[in-house]
Structure 1
Amino acid sequence: MTAGPGRDADVCVVGAGPAGLLLGLLLARSGVRVTVLEKHPDFLRDFRGDTVHPSTLDVLDALGLADRVAELPGRRVRELTASYADGTFRVADFTRLRVAHPYVLFLPQWDLLEMLAAAAGEYPGFTLLRSHEVTDLLFDAADGPARGVVARAEDGRRIEVRARLVVAADGRRSAVREALVRAGRGLPLREFGAPMDVLWFRVPRWPEDPEGLSARIGAGRLLIMIDRGHYWQTAYVIPKDGREAIRAAGLDALRATVIELAPWLRGRVGAVADWDDVSFLEVRVDRLRRWHSPGVLLIGDAAHAMSPVGGVGINLAVQDAVAAARMLAEPLRAGAGTAELTPVLARFQRRRMVPTMGTQLLQRWAARGVIGPTLRADVPVRAPSAVRLMDRLPFLRGLPARLVGVGLLPERVPPAARPTTASQRVPTAP
């Protein structure tokens, strides 16, 4: 591999997902030099997490980006319903939240990421390197702290990015985490398991279809349908390691299941023409016991892989990014090195461990108490008493809405990263 030029930054962020780009934007606005590396040339990948929660929208408002968000092709969903053998019940109502945005915005993630990249690119301290795949960490000594990363550019050149801190925001298969393992600095991982995996696909949506976000529950079957305006983003929840059995049964069996759970889709399931139209998500729930190593911090799924239950993984990662920027910006501006940053990283983990543990506990409860029994059922499933109660008492529907839409510990944008002029301040959208 041909060697290429080196680069220097205060912080090197690995992974240009929502958390990585938002952290880069927040730090650049705070006067910190940031380089973000993304292994792909663009953000155009389907069935990524497309949920933008009320607390994330609050963060974007605080950054003066509300007008830019409003220009993106989003779909507002204000209610979650669940359909059982004995009827359809309302289980979450986001309009009951006392927040600026009482809804979940379903937005193609590539549009959100391009917007964040453009906003961050307006600051001279921000650099985004696309088509740069991180392959290793840099160490000045065998037992010394990380001093940056090694990346492979699109043309095969070896690029070094030296930084006082590397932040891994590159997901559950984090290259940074793997590099720590190779260097003998692997961080202990606690795995919780999950009873399900997910198949994702699209089905056309017609104007007369029901609206919103819904779960369709049958005997041993669970379908999650996300209203994206002109199509349904559909998640078919399957038993863990059940992918090959589903494929062996054939596409006709999959289409028949969709029609059984959502009869109005008859005549449209042919849009799932072959298995290339179906994406597979292996569900994992795990958490590092320690989220940092000298010179390295892990956030989002790199530190704690979340189940798709509630679609809260992105929101949790975004809140990680906001907290990290608030706690790290000042010491980084002051020139802090590894010794000074290490206790800050430990404080960050202590703060963000609380909502992470709580959220994963709720997800595991839902998996064991609701999803697992549903997938094992051999008769039509009737609505549990708790679901009936939420449908009957509107105020109860605000609790799951808050857990999903706001989270257990929403974070605030640091003052140094807020717009500095009146023209930059965008009023919160209603």
Structure 2
Amino acid sequence: MSEGLSQTRCCVVGGGPAGMMLGLLLARAGAAVTVLEKHGDFLRDFRGDTVHPSTLAILDELGLRAGFDALPQHRVEHLDAIVGGRPQPIVDFRGLHPYGYLALVPQWNFLDLLAREGQRHPSFDLRMRHCATDLLREQGRVAGVRVNGPDDAYDLRADLVVACDGRHSTLREAAGLVARDYGAPMDVLWFRLPRKDSDPQDTFGIVDRGHMMVLLNRDDYWQVAYLVPKGSDAALRAQPVQVLRDGVAELAAFLADRKDAIAGWDAVSTLTVKIDRLPRWHLPGLLLLGDAAHAMSPIGGVGINLAIQDAVAAANRLAGPLRAGAPIDETLLAQVQQRREFPVRVVQRVQMLMQRRLISSVLEQRGEPPRVPALLRWLLGFRAVRHVPARLFGYGLRREYVACGPARDA
């Protein structure tokens, strides 16, 4: 392996939203960065695809909105629920500035957009089918990663390694960092069902005794999230798939005529839901971001957007020192965690509250159908009240803005 391929200023492990955004921002600022992605492409089903206003604003700052708007997408202006058979508005983005909607975009299209933009910059090195398997250590600090490539294994030395390799992070385990697990009462079954023009136009949730389901409008199909009690997946899969089909038809009668499109259990993926967070996101020479530092519940679809906010905060603090060849002191890495930990903690607390108060009680409920308390129903009749969750999940707390400008020769 030549010297040019075995050393970089910053090695980003994981080509998901956090890794690709960080790689793009660093290269745009003129810092040498290598992004390692273990797969040969980004095309995988059931990755999160909810792009919130906070991310739309960052794309605008980077001049990528036109490219993003050209991607296949469905824009969602409000989120409603059917609770015990009764419609209930919950979240409303309309009227919020500057973006009154969120976008449902296949994540692979979004990542391809970031990759293409990154490759416009000479210091951006994206290596597909290159998997980081371990950390290199030298004089008490992380000095790079061990990599399995498509042709051979090699050591990639780096002044800084950033782990963006997800909730099952290989590098987190290699570093000996252990996240605190806050638990979750449910897992999620993901599958698709055909959509007809006569179907509802909205993205919405359905809540009934013992059952919850979310239908994401993807124009020609429904992306379905069917919630089941934590740990019940194996027992459910031991039954005929007709049990799931009937459960879907019971919650959404308009889908009864196509429930058999769930051909079998092989067509159903399981998302094991968890909420966790590292007490410490860094070691000398190593920083963890996104799900590698804090796994989020799917409630609110915030995972992608918090990961991207992490990446922007990291780039703002690290691009200058990396470009200048300055040492990357651990205090810089600690500043990234200090900046990002508060909004992550708040959102996780809200998710845990919703899990305990709503999801657990619904999944355990028998007898009478659930009802929204009269006071809450009255409050949710006001758009200003429905703006509160829209602002929290859509825009977030302590929003990040791109402060690391492009390199002069970019």
TM-score normalised per structure 2: 0.96
Please say if 1:332 is aligned against 2:322.
Answer: yes
Distance, in Å, in 1 between the alignment partners of 2:204 and 2:193 is: 14
Q: 2:215, 2:224 within 8 Å by CA — same for their partners in 1?
A: yes
Return 5+ residue gaps in structure 2 as ranges.
none
1:314 is matched with: 304
Shift in CA distance, 264/337, structure 1 to aligned 2, threshold 3 Å: same
**Structure 1 residue runs of 4 or more that deviate by more than 6 Å after TM superposition:** none
1:120 is matched with: 118
What letter is aligned with 1:345? L
Distance, in Å, in 2 between the alignment partners of 1:108 and 1:188 is: 31
Report SS of the residue matched to 1:333: helix
1:366 is matched with: 354
Report SS of the residue matched to 2:242: helix
Distance, in Å, in 2 between the alignment partners of 1:386 and 1:325 is: 44
After superposition, where does 1:97-108 map in structure 2 within 5 Å? 97-99=96-98, 101-108=99-106
- Greater shift in the superposed pair: 9-18 or 402-411: 402-411
Name the % identity: 48
2:339 is matched with: 351
After superposition, where does 1:213-252 map in structure 2 within 5 Å? 213-252=203-242
Shift in CA distance, 392/118, structure 1 to aligned 2, threshold 3 Å: same
Distance, in Å, in 2 between the alignment partners of 1:229 and 1:193 is: 34
Distance, in Å, in 2 between the alignment partners of 1:417 and 1:251 is: 53
What letter is aligned with 2:405? A
Q: Deviations over 1:43-76 (max 9, x none)?
A: 1110000011111011011000011101100110
Q: Deviations over 1:8-60 (max 9, x none)?
A: 21110000001100000000011100000000000111000001111101101
- Greater shift in the superposed pair: 325-334 or 358-367: 325-334
1:428 is matched with: none
Distance, in Å, in 2 between the alignment partners of 1:85 and 1:331 is: 56
Superposed displacement of residue 219, structure 1:
1.1
Superposed displacement of residue 251, structure 1:
1.0
Distance, in Å, in 1 between the alignment partners of 2:64 and 2:238 is: 47
Report SS of the residue matched to 1:365: helix
Report SS of the residue matched to 1:267: helix
Distance, in Å, in 2 between the alignment partners of 1:77 and 1:311 is: 12
Q: Deviations over 1:336-377 (max 9, x none)?
A: 224xx2111111111101001001000000000110101000
1:50 is matched with: 49
1:135 is matched with: 133
Q: Deviations over 1:243-275 (max 9, x none)?
A: 022213321111111111111111111111011
Superposed displacement of residue 86, structure 1:
4.7
1:175 is matched with: 170
What letter is aligned with 1:378? R
Distance, in Å, in 1 between the alignment partners of 2:379 and 2:406 is: 40
- Greater shift in the superposed pair: 38-47 or 206-215: 206-215
Please say if 1:408 is aligned against 2:397.
Answer: yes
Q: What RMSD in Å do the two structures reach over aligned CA positions?
A: 1.6
Distance, in Å, in 2 between the alignment partners of 1:389 and 1:367 is: 22
Matched length: 408
Shift in CA distance, 86/386, structure 1 to aligned 2, threshold 3 Å: farther
Report SS of the residue matched to 1:95: coil
Distance, in Å, in 2 between the alignment partners of 1:225 and 1:360 is: 23
Superposed displacement of residue 228, structure 1:
0.7
What letter is aligned with 1:162? R
Instruction: Identify the match of residue 262 of structure 1 among 252, 271, 274.
Output: 252
Please say if 1:164 is aligned against 2:159.
Answer: yes
Distance, in Å, in 1 between the alignment partners of 2:150 and 2:101 is: 40
Distance, in Å, in 2 between the alignment partners of 1:203 and 1:326 is: 42
Report SS of the residue matched to 2:335: helix
Q: 2:85, 2:208 within 8 Å by CA — same for their partners in 1?
A: no
2:12 is matched with: 13
After superposition, where does 1:38-117 map in structure 2 within 5 Å? 38-99=37-98, 101-117=99-115
2:384 is matched with: 395
What letter is aligned with 1:160? D
2:35 is matched with: 36
1:427 is matched with: none
Please say if 1:190 is aligned against 2:180.
Answer: yes
Distance, in Å, in 1 between the alignment partners of 2:374 and 2:319 is: 48
Return 5+ residue gaps in structure 1 as ranges.
181-185, 425-430
Please say if 1:273 is aligned against 2:263.
Answer: yes
Distance, in Å, in 2 between the alignment partners of 1:221 and 1:109 is: 28
Q: 2:32, 2:323 within 8 Å by CA — same for their partners in 1?
A: no
Distance, in Å, in 2 between the alignment partners of 1:276 and 1:417 is: 46
What letter is aligned with 1:326? N
Please say if 1:200 is aligned against 2:159.
Answer: no
Shift in CA distance, 398/159, structure 1 to aligned 2, threshold 3 Å: same
Q: 2:25, 2:404 within 8 Å by CA — same for their partners in 1?
A: no
Report SS of the residue matched to 2:135: strand
Distance, in Å, in 2 between the alignment partners of 1:37 and 1:296 is: 15
Distance, in Å, in 2 between the alignment partners of 1:233 and 1:62 is: 30
Q: 2:23, 2:124 within 8 Å by CA — same for their partners in 1?
A: yes
Distance, in Å, in 2 between the alignment partners of 1:214 and 1:9 is: 46
Q: Deviations over 1:280-339 (max 9, x none)?
A: 01111110000000100000000001111111011100000000000111122222224x
Distance, in Å, in 2 between the alignment partners of 1:27 and 1:390 is: 45
TM-score normalised per structure 1: 0.92
Distance, in Å, in 2 between the alignment partners of 1:415 and 1:126 is: 16
Superposed displacement of residue 213, structure 1:
1.7
Superposed displacement of residue 390, structure 1:
4.1
What letter is aligned with 2:196? W
